[in-house]
C-alpha cells in the first residue's frame, strides 16, 4: 500500500494549510468540526491526514 502523500495530493488545495490546526485541535480537545467552502480540499485531505496522524485515535466521520 502506498503511504498518503500530503504534499503531492494537497498541492494547490487551500485546506492543506489548515491541517496543522486540525491535528492540534484533535490532539488537545479530541474533536473538531471542519467547515470551509466547496473545492478547498476538506474531503480529499482531512480523512486520510487524520487517519495517518501519530497520536490521534478514533473515528473520522465525513458528512455532506
- In tens, the pLDDT along 4-63 reads 677 787 888 999 999 999 989 988 998 889 999 999 999 889 888 888 777 777 788 888
pLDDT at position 56, please? 77
Q: Which position has the grid cell 486520510?
A: 48
pLDDT at position 11, please? 82
**Cβ proximity of 13 and 31 under 8 Å:** no
- The residues, any chain, with a CB within 8 Å of residue 44's CB and separated by 6 or more, are 9, 10, 13, 15
pLDDT at position 59, please? 80
What is the reported pTM? Answer: 0.78
CA distances from 60 to 12, 26, 30 (A): 23, 11, 11
Amino acid at each position: 500500500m502506498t503511504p498518503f502523500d500530503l504534499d503531492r495530493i494537497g498541492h494547490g488545495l487551500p485546506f492543506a494549510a489548515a491541517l496543522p490546526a486540525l491535528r492540534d485541535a484533535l490532539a488537545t480537545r479530541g474533536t473538531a468540526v471542519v467547515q470551509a467552502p466547496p473545492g478547498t480540499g476538506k474531503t480529499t485531505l482531512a480523512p486520510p491526514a487524520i487517519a495517518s496522524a501519530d497520536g490521534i485515535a478514533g473515528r473520522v466521520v465525513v458528512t455532506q
